[in-house]
Structure 1
Amino acid sequence: MNINLIDLLKQKVSAIVLEGETEYLSEKSQALSSFFPILLALFKSKPELIGNLQSQLNPRLSDIFATHPDLKQQFLEQISGTVPTATIESTLNHSIAPTLGFLESEAGSSEPSAIAHLIETHWPAVSSALPHWAPALLSALGVSIASGHALHQAPAVEPYRAVEEKKKSSFLLPLIAFIVLAALLALMFKACSDKKETEPESGVPAQTATSEPAKLQLSTGSTGDLTTCQLYSGNASYIDILQKDIKQIFNHNIGCGVETNASYHTEFIDQDAIPSVLKLVKGVPNASLTWMGDQLSIQTANPADAEQLAVRIQPLVKNMTVMTQAASATSEPVDNMTAISAGNISAEKALAEINPDNIRALDIATALNMQIINFDTASSNIPDANKSILDQAAALIKRASQVHLTVKGHTDAMGDVAANKALSQKRAQAVVDYLVKQGVDPAQLQAVGYGSELPVADNATAEGQFKNRRIEFEVLNTETGVAREVNEQGVNQQ
């Protein structure tokens, strides 16, 4: 097969689960990478587990370890490393539903047998991704990872042969250990010698051609405070130092998200100047800074701010090129991105609090209207950030045949009126199609595009245009024929 399920899960599901995360980002990503093949191994061996999780509104790790609760804690301790197990458990919980959605999409069916067959087809890639300790865990859960192939087992050894081999081992082990230790010492000495020979005298660190430059990206909000930050480096010790500086400079408790692995350089060019540069960036509204390789890029909403920053920063970074640019007219302002993130988090929380045994249409609509579906310009592709929310909603709607929703698409007043109306219809239909793909009865949904006919804010401002580009959910009571809409002011009867 030309696809690798594990790689696709890492790309798609991890991106959904970790979006907006800043704390323990690298550790959470690693935990997900270890969890995916284990979860797929369980699904392949126990298709009934797939059906059980599909029936859950918010499937949890506890559902997987329901018959072996003691193993769950052992598993979390193994996979969490230095991160609190509760934090990792929360991340894994959030990954189960989108993983099921991904597998259903790849299998072309929500049937557990179809999903199990998909995993069986890709089993070599799945099994090769299993952590070395996974077979013991899976065995304790009653799962064999052989998949019709013999497990890698040592051949049977006769008793007397085993004793003889043990005697030989007792003699050889010290000798082997000594040889290995000598080899390691030689390698360490060579590495130190090479470093001394190749390390430049300037502020530019030695960098190998096969690794990526260390990178720092951060943005400020309308008041100049830190809003987003991400660090990429191969030096965990320096990252800890830089994190402390960033938290102190911006008075920010969380600091940056971090990705630390050997593929990144261990040093930034002119890295001693980073704290001084960040002090200059603090307080500049809607600024974005990217420090990578020998280039430092500054972007601000006000071009004059970027130019002033560049003039003050360039003397501090003598080995770098400072570039400036005004924020693109098509890019989303930081404040809008913050609103999108906050709205989507509220929607997920509200959906999770709905009692699956007492589902009300208004509750679903209220939760869905908290999110912001921010389509790309002229596009009807649903952003990945909203798919998990729609997945949650679909799970509820499937359990409640009395729920009927109208999905209403709206645009701002920029551009051609007819084209805007067509685009709003296409976007509303895209949301309906996605919910139907997750198993919702098409008879429970309808899409209507209004274009720019019903603005909720002034189209003369960028902020107003952003608010007018929206998707709304309206509830229709099929018994009375009365439509009820949920918006920021509450529930309105029409």
Structure 2
Amino acid sequence: MDIIRHLKQTVSPAVLEGDRSPAKASLLEQFYAIFAARLADKDTYDRFSNESIASDDQAFYDRVWTDGTHRDQISRELAGKHNVDVTAARGMIAMAAPLAFHEIKSLAGTTPVPQFLRDNLASYQPLIPAWSSAVLPASMLADAPAPASTAPSRSEEEKGGFMKALLPIIGLIILGALAWALLRGCQENPEPVATPAVTEQAEDGDPSAVAADIEPAALRIATGENRELYACSMNVGDEGLETQVIDALTAAFGEEANKCRADVDDSFAAEMPASAQLTSVLPIVKNVPNASMIIKGDQITVNAPDEAALEQLVADLQAAAPGMTVQAEGPLGLQGEIDDSLAAADAAMDDLGENPDPRDVARALSIQVINFEVDASAIPEVNKELLERASKIIAEVPDMELVIIGHTDSQASDDYNVELSRERADSVREFLISQGIDGTKLTTQGMGESEPVADNSTEQGRFRNRRIEFVVRDEVDDASNEMNSANDGMTISNDALDPDLNPLDSNNDDLLPDGDDVTQGTELDPTN
């Protein structure tokens, strides 16, 4: 179990919040090792093992290290080592501590945390600095290699004098061997120009690599009035995690799990702290009509239209997943949601770099909230700056074609919502064209209320459903091709549709009464 790697993927993104500083990422990595060593001490852990630690409880760090001089030393040493401001280091550590605690506790499962950390000592021990002996329990340091003595013995001094005399000769021998190896390598196996050498360190991950690039895996579901799976989507790092989540959804909701939309990309974590508890968590949510749940990192956020049902839902989920932080969704802060979405979309565009993947461009654009006025399709001024920036990126990506998809909540008729969502998608397309984008690269769809991502019974759910999505056209085409393959490659025309579904067709081959097509009568259609 690589504990440090897991914490880099799950905790660091939440602490750094888009800051791509390698120094800060490396500082956090070393703090995780010190923190794990501290929790491996049973006496330390027992002090707060029965507490309910909130993920934003920054005072928790003070309870782990009760000695203020120790806390100051940790901040000062880490800041100096990684060239980070001491105040910033102190804030990062205080924010990381409760998050890391929940992740470690979740990884440990039923194993006591101190035992789990001692069993996996090898995964973080190399990162424990020598100076931390002053802030870690002696029982923990006993497991670590003893520091080498700095005072040489007499025999060592004599050997040292002899070795000093040999150093120039050894240096010449080594230099000659390196020169010969370099010449031989150039002759027999020349490396292409500008091709970086692949090293073991690169495969394992450079400690200074930016952990903030990885977003926590996430699952979002909502139930309907009849406790069915009303909406479902996930963001996961690989197909293994996708399969694990789908299996849990299938166990709870049956074939309805097939409607869950999955965004599988290595920009998301390949581990989900709550994955082991999904088989317990999902049936609890299923039993509450019009409920919603978002799992991200070590947080479970839920909502329901009934206050009593919501309180019970939080209590039941916390009992089923004690290693997670379960909370009720707060009131909708509209302006804050909009501002946060624009900031996140802007940061995602910063991370695109040169020659970005079109899917990453579409994903970055979809983060923003375009909060149209009621019954209107005019783009709000606050979104135009971001769309202007996006147009420059789109123009520079060769052969990039996007589908702009509009969605609404369910607070009007189906036909009205489809038309309104199409008009809003068209409005975004026209704006991008006005910025110089070739119109043939942009198509639109209006989906109305047909593809919700949240329940429509709460204000927060309706807000999430009112959205504009950007999708690479190839992905839409691939989905259509899969649907055609599922229908044995047959092309379905209007005449092939049953009259009950399409009163305008010309056949009469339905096996049910034509209740919506009076010209066909009310008897069963004849079989062909």
Work out whether the TM-score is over 0.5.
no
TM-score (norm 2): 0.38
TM-score (norm 1): 0.41
